[in-house]
C-alpha cells in the first residue's frame, strides 16, 4: 500500500485516455462504492490565484493553507518530510482509490496502450511492474504475447467489473477472518463473570468460541492480563489487553496489533442467542473494502459494535480516534463507511448484563 489499501493506477503515455477511462469506471462503480481519485505526476500545478487571501497567506510564509466552503475543502501545502501520510489521511474514508500516473511505482496497474505502443516496449523490457491488465482502443487480439487480460477501451463495464473483482479478491486473499471472543469486561452489573455463565452445554466463553471456530481461520479470547489464568484452562489462545481502560476498543486494538493483516470478527461473550445464521450472514455479506460489516440493531437503530467484522483498514482510524480520546466502537461505526446488515433474527443481538436478564434467559430456555 502506498496511498490506500485498495488502490489501482491507470498508467500510460499522454493522450492514451487515462482520465477518460478513470471517469468512466468511476461513474460505473460509484453507485456501489465511494471512490477517490489522485492525479499524480504533474510537472507543476496551481489552484491558487495571485492576490487572493489564500495566496497572500501562503506567500507570507504559511506552510499549509486550507480553503473551505459548506460543500468542499482544499488543502495547499508545502510541508515536506511527511511521506505519503497526507494522501493516506485524505483518502482513508473511501472504499477505492484510482491513481492517474505513477507507472514507475509498485502500484497495481491498468496499462493503457498508446497508438505507437511505446508503453508495451517498457513492459517487455521489465521497466513497468505490477501490471494487472492492458487496455487498448484497438482489437485486444492485437496485443499478443502478454500473460495479463486485455480489454477494449470502450468496454467500460468489463473493465469496471475486473477492477472490482481484482480488489475484492486481493482483500479476501490478504485478510483472513479471525474470531475474537470479548471477555475482558468487569461484569459489574451481573455480579459474577458473564463469560463463565452456562446457558448451553458449555459456558459462554467456550460456546461462543466454538461457534466462531466453525467460521474463522483462527479464534482467540480477548481478556485482561489478570484473567488469563482463569481463561487459560480452556485451551483457547488469548490476546491480553495492551490498551487498558478503554473497553471493547482496547480488545480490538490489541488483536489488530497482534495480527494487523486479519479481519477481526468480534463477538461479546454475553450473547447467549448467537447462532450459526448470524455468523454466516456476517461472513457471506462481508465487504472488505469498507471499514467494517455490522448489523443495525432494530431496537436501537444503531450499529451493533460487539458482533461485527472489522477490516484491517479500520486500525489507523481507530488509533486516531483513540488518540483523540474517543474510544467508542459504536460511534466509530456510526461515522464510518460500514457495510450495513439487517439481522435475520434480532434476538441474536441481545446481550445479557444483569441477574434479572440472566434469569429470564434461563426461564426462556427451560420453556
Question: How is 306-346 classified by DSSP, letter by letter?
Answer: EEEEE-TTHHHHHHHHHHTT---HHHHHHTS-EEEE--SSG
Q: Chain-centre distance of CA 124, in angstroms?
A: 35
pTM of the model: 0.90
For strand 73-77 and strand 64-68, is the pairing parallel, antiparallel, or unpaired?
antiparallel
Tell me the three cell numbers of residue 252.
480490538
Q: CATH 3.40.50.300 in the chain: give the residue spans.
A: 7-46+78-173
pLDDT (average), residues 265-282? 96
Confidence band of 258 (pLDDT split at 50, 70, 90): very high
Buried residues in 210-228 as b, exposed as e (16+ CB within 10 A): ebbeebbeebbbbbbeebe
- pLDDT tens track for 151-192: 999 999 999 999 999 999 999 999 999 999 999 776 666 666
Name the superfamily (CATH) of residues 175-366.
Answer: Spore Coat Polysaccharide Biosynthesis Protein SpsA; Chain A (3.90.550.10)
Asked if residue 29 has pLDDT above 90, the reply is yes
Q: What is the pLDDT of residue 191?
A: 64
pLDDT digits (tens, 9 = 90+) for 50-77: 999 998 999 999 999 999 999 999 888 8
pLDDT tens for residues 86-112? 889 999 999 999 999 888 888 999 999
Most confidently predicted of 55-59, 82-86, 353-357: 55-59
The CATH 3.90.550.10 domain(s) of the chain lie at 175-366
Which residues lie across from 11 on neighbouring strands? 111
Taking residues 238-252, what's their average pLDDT? Answer: 96
CATH topology of domain 7-46+78-173: Rossmann fold (3.40.50)
Mean of all residue pLDDT scores within the chain: 91
Amino acid at each position: 500500500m502506498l496511498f490506500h489499501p485498495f488502490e489501482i493506477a491507470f498508467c500510460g503515455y499522454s493522450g492514451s485516455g487515462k482520465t477518460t477511462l478513470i471517469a468512466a469506471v468511476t461513474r460505473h462503480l460509484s453507485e456501489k462504492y465511494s471512490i477517490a481519485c489522485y492525479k499524480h505526476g504533474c510537472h507543476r500545478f496551481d489552484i491558487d490565484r495571485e492576490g487572493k487571501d489564500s495566496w497572500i497567506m501562503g506567500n507570507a510564509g504559511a506552510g499549509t493553507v486550507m480553503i473551505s466552503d459548506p460543500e468542499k475543502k482544499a488543502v495547499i501545502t508545502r510541508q515536506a518530510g511527511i511521506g505519503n501520510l497526507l494522501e493516506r489521511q485524505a483518502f482513508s474514508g473511501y472504499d477505492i482509490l484510482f491513481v492517474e500516473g505513477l507507472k514507475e511505482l509498485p502500484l497495481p496497474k491498468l496499462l493503457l496502450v498508446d497508438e505507437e505502443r511505446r508503453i508495451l516496449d517498457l513492459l517487455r523490457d521489465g521497466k513497468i511492474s505490477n501490471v494487472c491488465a492492458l487496455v487498448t482502443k484497438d482489437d485486444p487480439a492485437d496485443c499478443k504475447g502478454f500473460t495479463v487480460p486485455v480489454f477494449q477501451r470502450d468496454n467500460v463495464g468489463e473493465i469496471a467489473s475486473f477492477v472490482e473483482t481484482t480488489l475484492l479478491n486481493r482483500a479476501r486473499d490478504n485478510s483472513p477472518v479471525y474470531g475474537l471472543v470479548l471477555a475482558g469486561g468487569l461484569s459489574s452489573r451481573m455480579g459474577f463473570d458473564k463469560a463463565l455463565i452456562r446457558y448451553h452445554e458449555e459456558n459462554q466463553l467456550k460456546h461462543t468460541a466454538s461457534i466462531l471456530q466453525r467460521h474463522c481461520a483462527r479464534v482467540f479470547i480477548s481478556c485482561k492480563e489478570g484473567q488469563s489464568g482463569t481463561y487459560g484452562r480452556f485451551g483457547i489462545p488469548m490476546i491480553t489487553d495492551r490498551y487498558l481502560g478503554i473497553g471493547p476498543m482496547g480488545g480490538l486494538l490489541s488483536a489488530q496489533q497482534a495480527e494487523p493483516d486479519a479481519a477481526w470478527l468480534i463477538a461479546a461473550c454475553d450473547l447467549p442467542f448467537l447462532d450459526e445464521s448470524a455468523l454466516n450472514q456476517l461472513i457471506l455479506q462481508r465487504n472488505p473494502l469498507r471499514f467494517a460489516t455490522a448489523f443495525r440493531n432494530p431496537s436501537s437503530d444503531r450499529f451493533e459494535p460487539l458482533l461485527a467484522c472489522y477490516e484491517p483498514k479500520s486500525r489507523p482510524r481507530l488509533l486516531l480516534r483513540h488518540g483523540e480520546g474517543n474510544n467508542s466502537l459504536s460511534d466509530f461505526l456510526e461515522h464510518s463507511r460500514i457495510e450495513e446488515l439487517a439481522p435475520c433474527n434480532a434476538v441474536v443481538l441481545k446481550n445479557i448484563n444483569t441477574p434479572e436478564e440472566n434469569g429470564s434467559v434461563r426461564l426462556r430456555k427451560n420453556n
